[in-house]
């Protein structure tokens, strides 16, 4: 009897996994959008993604509870308005998954004090909040490691300033794996090639930050369009008067920053933008950047305004997202519990 030939279908290659999140601790800046959220949107088709509102990290600094709840939902609405698709990605609130805190405690027991003392963020935040140097601030990187390792993330999209957190996560995961076998995926930091670090408009050698004491230094995604244009037009440049992209020259930091913003918002490169504006003045560049930013944000704001009013829709998204996140995270946590000797059955 002749065997019937059957076409053997190849098993589809597993998509790599990504985890990331933003703290709902204040306004979301243009820097957050360009350096993080905008790039997450592009990653959704090629990776299995989980994105969180990192409210547990937020409370290392004192928060007003009602404001934190409001900002958490606003951040979720903004994620979706920017293009994060809840059908493609897991979108959830960090505190809705207790596995984050549970794994963080275990990883605390495998993280050395010296490693945490070297963390730049702890030193910086301790200096800014000298009246509240709490244990959570010190062990913040351990919770961040738990966030990532729970989802067996292959990669974490980060800026250069966050690479130290990825390194300690890798060290702790490697230490745990060396003791108990292949428990955790060791994640890589996925550096964004363009627009990863958008600088302050007033101090262009520093990162754009929502904690900037000068509101002219950052652009909020919620700013009035007229305010956005005014902030960009008052951006610090230099006295040279030449539009060139020189990324290694701090003297050109202000112009470099404007060129980088324009490049990202128009899907170009800083070098190409500089060539387009060669021979023109800084005023022309600033006007063009202001228009590009406003027109880029306009449809996001229109979508956000619709989403934020639909509380039932948002609740459905974060409830469904938490269920999916917990399902993945609890599988990892159960394996960890068993490895360290906890009774699990």
CA distance 322 to 2: 52
Three-class SS of 212-271: CCCHHHCCECCCCHHHHHHHHHCCCCCCCCCCCCCCCCHHHHHHHHHHHHHHHHCCCCHH
Catalytic residue, candidates 16, 88, 197, 210:
210
Report the alpha-carbon angle 65-53-75, nearest 5. 80
State phi, psi for 234 to the nearest 5 degrees.
-100, 10
The 8-class DSSP code of residue 162 comes to G
First to last CA, the chain: 50
Contact 330, 151 (CB under 8 A): no
Annotation says 231 is catalytic: no
Catalytic residue, candidates 207, 231, 252, 286:
207
User: How many Cα atoms sit within 13 Å of 284 on the Cβ side?
Assistant: 11
Distances from the Cα of 54 to the Cα of 24, 38, 200, angstroms: 7, 18, 23
Catalytic residue, candidates 125, 231, 252, 286:
125
Residue with tokens 């306004």: 27
- Helical pair 99-108 and 311-340, crossing angle rounded to 10 deg: 30
Partners of 207 in the β-ladder: 199
Annotation says 311 is catalytic: no
Partners of 158 in the β-ladder: 191
Contact 37, 225 (CB under 8 A): no
Contact 294, 322 (CB under 8 A): no
* Cβ neighbours around 98 below 10 Å, total: 12
Annotation says 207 is catalytic: yes
Contact 24, 54 (CB under 8 A): yes
* Cβ neighbours around 277 below 10 Å, total: 20
Residues annotated as catalytic are 125, 207, 210
């Amino acid at each position: 009897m002749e065997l019937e030939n059957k076409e053997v279908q190849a098993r589809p290659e597993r998509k790599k996994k990504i985890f990331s999140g933003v703290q709902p601790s204040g306004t979301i800046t243009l820097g957050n959008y360009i350096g993080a959220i905008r790039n997450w949107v592009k990653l959704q088709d090629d990776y299995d993604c989980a994105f969180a509102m990192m409210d547990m990290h937020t409370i290392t600094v004192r928060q007003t509870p009602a404001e934190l709840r409001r900002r958490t939902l606003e951040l979720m609405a903004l994620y979706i308005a920017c293009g994060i698709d809840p059908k493609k990605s897991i979108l959830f609130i960090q505190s809705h998954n207790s596995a984050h805190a549970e794994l963080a405690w275990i990883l605390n027991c495998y993280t050395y004090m010296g490693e945490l003392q070297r963390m730049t963020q702890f030193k910086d935040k301790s200096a800014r909040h000298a009246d509240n140097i709490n244990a959570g601030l010190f062990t913040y990187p351990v919770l961040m490691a738990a966030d990532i390792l729970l989802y067996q993330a292959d990669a974490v999209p980060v800026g250069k300033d966050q690479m130290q957190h990825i390194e300690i996560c890798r060290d702790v995961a490697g230490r745990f794996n060396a003791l108990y076998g292949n428990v955790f995926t060791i994640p890589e930091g996925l550096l964004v090639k363009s627009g990863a670090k958008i600088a302050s408009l007033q101090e262009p050698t520093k990162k754009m930050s929502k904690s900037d004491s000068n509101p002219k230094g950052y652009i909020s995604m919620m700013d009035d369009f007229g305010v956005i244009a005014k902030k960009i037009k008052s951006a610090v440049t230099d006295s040279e008067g030449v539009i060139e992209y020189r990324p290694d020259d701090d003297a050109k930091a202000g112009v470099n920053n404007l060129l980088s913003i324009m490049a990202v918002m128009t899907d170009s490169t800083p070098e190409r933008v500089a060539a387009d504006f060669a021979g023109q003045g800084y005023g022309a560049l600033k006007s063009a950047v202001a228009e590009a930013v406003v027109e880029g944000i306009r449809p996001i704001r229109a979508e956000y305004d619709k989403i934020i009013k639909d509380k039932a829709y948002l609740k459905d998204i974060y409830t469904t997202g938490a269920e999916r996140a917990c399902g993945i995270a609890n599988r990892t946590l159960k394996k960890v519990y068993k490895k360290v000797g906890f009774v699990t059955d």
